[in-house]
Amino acid sequence: MEKMKQLYGKNREVSRLIIIIVLWLIFMMLTQAKKFYTGANFLTMAGQFPEYGLMALGVMLCMITGGIDLSVVGTANMASILAVFLLNGVFGTEGSMPMAFMPMIFLMAVALGIVVGSLNALLISRIKVPPILATLGVNQTLTGLCIVMTGGAAISSFPKEFSDTFSGALFGILPWRLVVFLVAAVIIWFMLERTTYGTKLRLYGTNPHVAEFSGINTNRLLFKTYISSAVCAALGGLMMLATYSSVRADYGTNYTMQSILIVVLGGVSPNGGKGKLSGVVTAIVLLKLIESGINRFRSVSTYYVTLIWGAVLLLALVLDYMGERPRKA
Amino acid sequence: MDKKVKRLLHSNEPYIFLIILVFGIAVQIKSGQFFTGNNIVDLLSALIVPGLFAIGEFLALIAGGIDVSFPALASLAAYATTKLLLDMDYEGNVVAAFAIAILIGAVFGAVNGFFIGYLNLNAMIVTLGTSSIFQGIMQGTLRAQQLSAIPPGMKNFGTTAFIVAQNRQSGITSVLPYTFLILGAVFLIIAFMLRYTIFGRGIYALGGNPISAHAAGFHVKRTKFLMYIIIGVIASMSGICRVCMMQQMHPTNMLGMEMNIIAGVVLGGVALTGGAGTMIGCMLGTFLIVMVQNSMILLGIPTTWSNVFVGLVIVAGVAISAYQSNRSAKQAGRHAKEAA
Amino acid sequence: MAQSLLKAEHIKISFGNVHALTDVSLEIQPGEIHCLAGENGCGKSTLIKIISGVYQRDGGTIEFDGKQLDKITPIDSINLGIQVIYQDFSLFPNLTVAENLALNTEVASKKQLVSWKNVRKIAEEAVSRIHFDVDLDRKVESLTVAQKQMVAISRALMFNARLIIMDEPTTALTKKEVDALFQIILQLKQQGIAILFISHKLNEVFEISERFTIFRNGELVATGNTKELDDKKFTFYMTGREFADSKFTPKKLSDAPVMELKDLTLNGSFEQVSFSLRGGEILGITGLLDSGRTELALSMFGIRPADSGQIIRGGKPVRIGNPRDAIENRIGLVPEDRLSEGLFLQRSIGDNIIISEIDRLTKGKGIYDLEKRDREIERWVKELEIKTGNPDNPVTTLSGGNQQRIVLAKWLACNLDVLILNGPTVGVDIGSKHDIHTILQKLANEGLGVIIISDDLPEVIGNCSRVLVIKSGRIVAEYSSEEVDEKKIIDAMM
């Protein structure tokens, strides 16, 4: 018991989310057990969350620095559209793609991430533009370019080998999209907890000025962070391509707010300096469980999902507020 | 006099005005159509909705907060009002629409105000959450769908011309609807409030130093609470204006506007850190973005490029103003030193 | 003796289990300048907060003007004529001087509308009381610290103040500004206003105050006439310890200089600064607040790279364009403002110690060697005798002196040749100050080249083997430790 308490105290954000998850799972058990607790449903969920889950991972890194990345959706759509252009350019709209070409698509996504992330970081670190505005402007520009490239319409004729593969599952059970998410999550966990980058990132987020005086290469840190974020977003875009099997300039526009919501819910402070991967991953899972659960209720509009997300976010804030209030003023 | 000029040159507004002017002249040279009555009227009419939103955002930023929930709030208030009036077959004038929307806006604004003011929670996150909730109420509870007909009172208000301008060359007429007066009135009232009421000065004081504001005797929590109610009211009015002018209600097409509005306000010299900025600057910045969005055709650029240009304007604008404020901060340090 | 203005006796207060004040008393006569001194955490600020109504006392009596006061609220305190000027001045940087002065009155008047004519009138009246000449339309953020302080004083005077409490008012002022402040304090005294002046700078206490009170660990240790106080007694009252006067003589001077500056110039701040530093010596650089001394420190450390001139390490000119260059060249800087430049306050003691050497605590390729990290932290906590139960605690849990040791530890961990300290003991109490000086002397004797930049003359004279005086951006004098005294330095820097 004592140990449980300690664990709860140490990981308050995560523990709280897990409690909410358990309550929700019990609720679903009592009401929609047959529809919700099916293998197929869990597989679907596991296949769907990686697209915004990946974006949330990137936003998390940026928010730990005290910044934010609002360009994730623009980057994601740009990645998927570029992938389609690449495929159509090389193999033609009716052609087929050999599996050996697969890495090229990922390489392209990573390259895009590096370009976009560097641009964000350049504006933020060198020109000292507030991150919210820099990434907002970049997002707008990227979205604009996506519209120009696609003429605003959806493109769905291109070689489908990529999207077919990634909408499927490894050994028929582990969705490929989940695999990509897990790989990214493990890499980010390693960066945060097992390399000096994590310590530097959190210290920078606590106080950038002191970081400068301590000899941290703050510019390099910001480049690394915003590039990681953009690469995650670009991978998220590829996952979207797999899900929809088509591309459009305005897919996933909700994902910006959604990923910020996830990150905050996961216990990352928007003022920077604080945040753990475990919290964010738990928040991603929670949101997906709620969304999917609500969809099981025929009579409830799917639009209630956003309402519940907002309510959960406010609830987490209020719980935090009650927990942190000093006893004696 | 000399001091005043110096102060002016240190502020953002003249530069934004200059950029607007240069841009206008560029469009004029390219198309010969910028400084025509109908184009100006079109731009002013396009400014109405973003302008109202910008005033609300301006208040939030001045007090050191932020609001990203206003598009959802405006959509919800406007949808609920329009739907209600339609269901009632209401034939009267637009006053009822504004009255209902304002009431709804005040209630939802109060929700923001309660969390941000009384519980002192982070404004960005709270409004992110309430934005989600407002959307959920609109699309889930109210099952909002596009309303292609709107009550006659609103329709009249949105189409009756306040100013008509005709372009002699092309013969196109442009109409500035009466909704423009709403923008004008809100602008004047809020400007008066900020300058001449204790409440308004409290908003500035709050953005400058919240702890001292409390010590100076301001009711900090109440000020924030009331301010978010006012923001909610302004947003809901903006929503009604939009519906009146579009002659239809589309529940989702205002969503996503928040970021461009914030960008416009910041371009106008309003600090994200609170306390600094003027209403004029806020309007100029918003106008700049509206102008870029609406000048694509005159420039002969396909409208698909509009987002790219707005994005570039935001990036360039904020980069220049960030560069400038860095430089002036350094200079201020030097001046302070010389004075010492 | 006349009736005292304020008489607080046997005040007690505790927070949870911590007794912040166990038994303190303070008596202030009308129109006197009284100095309250004590080390950090002695309870000075707590007592002020009780007097101004922020905290409620648990025991003891307070009389003001002969009247017994049971419970004091902040409003009561203001109505009695008590005004506190805190170190941050509680001003609104984004508002004009006039508005800052008039805002409280305007709010208190319960009117809903602002009359700008009235604001101006109030402001003009306020500044005229201390003949403070300032552009009322300027924003407060563009004023100097001294001007801001004058605004705060002017504002305090508007409430028929009878007692003004100033919390360490001289910390960020130049010598000239301190003199001007003292003139104002004397003027206020003539108007019959009592001043409670909080400071732990000995010379100021002697210069300005008539009577003094000293607290230690929440208890009253001494009170009396300043005339009866001397240097030794003051230190003893403050710390409960006695310190021998000492001068530092280097024991292990290197033959070659570890660092040389040749005509180093930062436009607008300092020009053609040249000197050389040998390993094992402590070089003092002193000058007024605006002499360019801080910029010099920042340039040597790469925060504000010099425009021209050379920094030479080990005989070779090196380029120092940012702090990383400096650290690579084994130069470290303990910055002026420990709280905003030196420490990640909310982070752990451990992280603060290792952050600058973090790139060496790896198993290669940036992979963190956590064992090595823990060993380093343990080593430095021990070496610098940092008093903490757990290095995972945030730095905020430590006292000022211990915090400063962490900043030192951070740099020592980097294996430096040159350590520059800008105002190393500002805001540090006397006991810790002495300890820090001992550490610096020990380090020098182990071969480190130390530069102390400070305007605390006893500190410079007592610790440095050589003193440079900087004035308006130029080095104007150099003294060896044998020939140096306070008068010579003051003459040179004015």
- C154-166: b or e for each residue (b if 16 or more CB lie within 10 Å)? bbbbbbebbbbbb
pLDDT digits (tens, 9 = 90+) for C464-482: 989 999 988 899 999 988 8
Angle of helix A39-48 versus helix A277-296 axis, rounded to 10: 130
State whether residue B220 sits within 8 Å of chain C by CB: no
The answer to whether A313 touches A265, Cβ cutoff 8 Å, is yes
Residues 132-171 of C with CB under 8 A from B: 135, 137, 141-144, 146-147
CA C189, CA C298: separation in Å to the nearest integer? 40
**Which residue matches tokens 């306390």?**
B275
**Which residue matches tokens 């953020």?**
C141
Q: pLDDT-derived band of residue B98, with 50, 70 and 90 as boundaries?
A: very high
Across A252-266, A299-313, C253-267, the highest mean pLDDT is recorded for: C253-267
State whether residue B198 sits within 8 Å of chain C by CB: yes
The answer to whether C358 touches C342, Cβ cutoff 8 Å, is no
pLDDT score recorded for residue B4: 66
The alpha carbon of residue B98 and the mean position of all alpha carbons in its chain are separated, in whole angstroms, by 18
Q: pLDDT-derived band of residue A290, with 50, 70 and 90 as boundaries?
A: confident
pLDDT at C314 exceeding the cut of 80: yes
Determine how β-strand C474-480 pairs with β-strand C466-471: antiparallel
pLDDT score recorded for residue A325: 47
Phi/psi for C196 (5° steps) reads -105, 115
CA B283, CA B285: separation in Å to the nearest integer? 5
CA C171, CA B76: separation in Å to the nearest integer? 54
Q: pLDDT-derived band of residue A34, with 50, 70 and 90 as boundaries?
A: confident
Contact A213 C347 (CB under 8 A): no
**Pairs of residues, one from chain B and one from chain C, whose beta carbons lie less than 8 Å apart:** 76
Rounded CA Rg of chain A: 20
**Which residue matches tokens 């969503």?**
B255
Phi/psi for C493 (5° steps) reads -90, -15
pLDDT digits (tens, 9 = 90+) for B211-231: 888 888 888 999 999 999 999
Chain A residues inside the 8 Å CB shell of B143:
301, 303
Q: pLDDT-derived band of residue B329, with 50, 70 and 90 as boundaries?
A: low
Helices (H), C43-173: 44-51, 74-80, 97-108, 116-129, 145-157
Q: What is the mean pLDDT of chain C?
A: 86
CATH code, B252: 1.10.3470
User: Could you tell me how many residues make up chain A?
Assistant: 329
The first and second tokens of residue B75, run together, are 């959509």
Beta bridge partners of C310: C262
CA A232, CA A228: separation in Å to the nearest integer? 6
pLDDT at C5 exceeding the cut of 60: yes
CA A22, CA A27: separation in Å to the nearest integer? 9
Q: pLDDT-derived band of residue A4, with 50, 70 and 90 as boundaries?
A: low
pLDDT at C2 exceeding the cut of 80: no
Taking Cα atoms as reference points, which of B61, B55, B56, B53 lies closest to residue B206?
B61
Q: Name the residue in chain B with its Cα closest to that of A310.
A: B129
How close B336 gets to chain C, by Cα (Å)? 5
Torsional sign, CA A292, A293, A295, A301: negative
Taking Cα atoms as reference points, which of A124, A144, A157 lies closest to residue A247?
A157
pLDDT digits (tens, 9 = 90+) for C282-295: 999 998 877 889 89
Chain A residues inside the 8 Å CB shell of C303:
212-213
Contact A199 C355 (CB under 8 A): yes
* HEC-encoded secondary structure of C247-289: CCCCCCCCCCEEEEEEEEEECCCEEEEEEEEECCCEEEEEECC
pLDDT digits (tens, 9 = 90+) for A121-157: 999 998 888 898 899 889 989 999 999 998 888 888 8
* HEC-encoded secondary structure of chain B: CHHHHHHHHHCCHHHHHHHHHHHHHHHHHHHCCCCCHHHHHHHHHHHHHHHHHHHHHHHHHHCCCCCCCHHHHHHHHHHHHHHHHHHCCCCCCCHHHHHHHHHHHHHHHHHHHHHHHHCCCCHHHHHHHHHHHHHHHHHHHCCCCCECCCCHHHHHHHHCEEEEEECCCCCCEEEEECHHHHHHHHHHHHHHHHHHEHHHHHHHHHHHCHHHHHHCCCCHHHHHHHHHHHHHHHHHHHHHHHHHHHCCECCCCCCCCHHHHHHHHHHCCCCCCCCCCCHHHHHHHHHHHHHHHHCCCCCCCCHHHHHHHHHHHHHHHHHHHHHHHHHHHHHHHHHHHHHC
Taking Cα atoms as reference points, which of A214, A247, A256, A195 lies closest to residue A73?
A256
Q: What is the mean pLDDT of chain A?
A: 87
pLDDT at C494 exceeding the cut of 80: no
The alpha carbon of residue A261 and the mean position of all alpha carbons in its chain are separated, in whole angstroms, by 10
Q: Which residue has the higher pLDDT, C345 or A35?
A: C345
Residue of C84, C104, C107 to mutate, testing the B interface (most B Cβ within 10 Å of its Cβ): C107
pTM: 0.84
Taking Cα atoms as reference points, which of A96, A72, A3 lies closest to residue A230?
A72
Q: Name the residue in chain A with its Cα closest to that of B322.
A: A129
Chain C residues inside the 8 Å CB shell of B216:
90, 103-104, 107
Numbered ranges of CATH 3.40.50.300 in chain C:
6-239, 257-493
pLDDT digits (tens, 9 = 90+) for C337-366: 777 788 898 888 999 998 888 888 888 777
* Type of residue at A121: A
Q: Name the residue in chain B with its Cα closest to that of C113.
A: B197
pLDDT score recorded for residue B285: 93
pLDDT score recorded for residue B243: 93
- Count other Cβ atoms within 10 Å, centred on residue C217: 15
pLDDT at A227 exceeding the cut of 60: yes
The answer to whether C5 touches C162, Cβ cutoff 8 Å, is yes
State whether residue C118 sits within 8 Å of chain B by CB: no
Q: Return the CATH fold of C257-493.
A: Rossmann fold (3.40.50)
pLDDT score recorded for residue C78: 84
pLDDT score recorded for residue A100: 84
Chain A residues inside the 8 Å CB shell of B258:
none
So what's the ipTM on this one?
0.82
The answer to whether B95 touches B178, Cβ cutoff 8 Å, is no
Phi/psi for C287 (5° steps) reads 175, 175
Query: Long-range pairs for B117-122 at CB < 8 Å and ≥24 separation?
Result: B117/B220, B117/B221, B117/B222, B117/B223, B117/B224, B117/B225, B117/B227, B117/B228, B118/B221, B118/B225, B119/A317, B119/A318, B119/A321, B120/A321, B120/B221, B121/A317, B121/A318, B121/A321, B122/A270, B122/A271, B122/A317
Q: pLDDT-derived band of residue A326, with 50, 70 and 90 as boundaries?
A: very low
The answer to whether C142 touches C94, Cβ cutoff 8 Å, is no
Three-class secondary structure of residue A263 per DSSP: helix
State whether residue A172 sits within 8 Å of chain C by CB: no
CA B210, CA B84: separation in Å to the nearest integer? 41
Average the pLDDT over B118-130 and give the result.
Answer: 89
Identify the chains in contact with B, defined as 3+ C-beta pairs within 8 A. A, C
pLDDT score recorded for residue A10: 64
Q: Name the residue in chain B with its Cα closest to that of C146.
A: B340
The first and second tokens of residue C430, run together, are 């006397």
Taking Cα atoms as reference points, which of A265, A246, A271 lies closest to residue A318?
A265
- Greatest alpha-carbon pair distance for chain B in Å reads 71
Contact A202 C347 (CB under 8 A): yes
Helix (H) or strand (E) segment spanning residue C332 = strand C331-334
Torsion angle of alpha carbons B190, B196, B198, B203, nearest 10°? Answer: 40
- Cβ neighbors of C369 (< 8 A, separation 6 or more) are C361, C362, C363
Three-class secondary structure of residue C242 per DSSP: coil
Taking Cα atoms as reference points, which of C436, C373, C374 lies closest to residue C402?
C436
The answer to whether A117 touches A231, Cβ cutoff 8 Å, is yes
pLDDT at A25 exceeding the cut of 80: yes
Average the pLDDT over A24-42 and give the result.
Answer: 83
How close B91 gets to chain A, by Cα (Å)? 32
Of A16-25, B13-22, B166-175, C143-152, the least confident: B166-175
**Which residue matches tokens 């430089």?**
B327
The alpha carbon of residue C47 and the mean position of all alpha carbons in its chain are separated, in whole angstroms, by 20
Q: Name the residue in chain B with its Cα closest to that of C111.
A: B198
Q: pLDDT-derived band of residue A106, with 50, 70 and 90 as boundaries?
A: very high
Contact A206 C16 (CB under 8 A): no
Average the pLDDT over A285-307 and give the result.
Answer: 83
Average the pLDDT over B87-112 and give the result.
Answer: 92
State whether residue B330 sits within 8 Å of chain C by CB: no
- Greatest alpha-carbon pair distance for chain C in Å reads 75
Classify domain C6-239 at the CATH class level: alpha beta
Average the pLDDT over C43-55 and give the result.
Answer: 86
CATH entry, A15-22+38-296+304-317, from 3.90.920, 3.40.50, 1.10.10, 1.10.3470: 1.10.3470
Rounded CA Rg of chain B: 21
Q: Which residue has the higher pLDDT, C68 or A1?
A: C68
pLDDT digits (tens, 9 = 90+) for C72-119: 888 888 888 888 888 878 889 889 999 999 888 888 888 888 888 989
Query: B191 is in which domain, residue-wise?
Result: 2-339
Q: pLDDT-derived band of residue B238, with 50, 70 and 90 as boundaries?
A: very high
**Domains in chain B, number:** 1
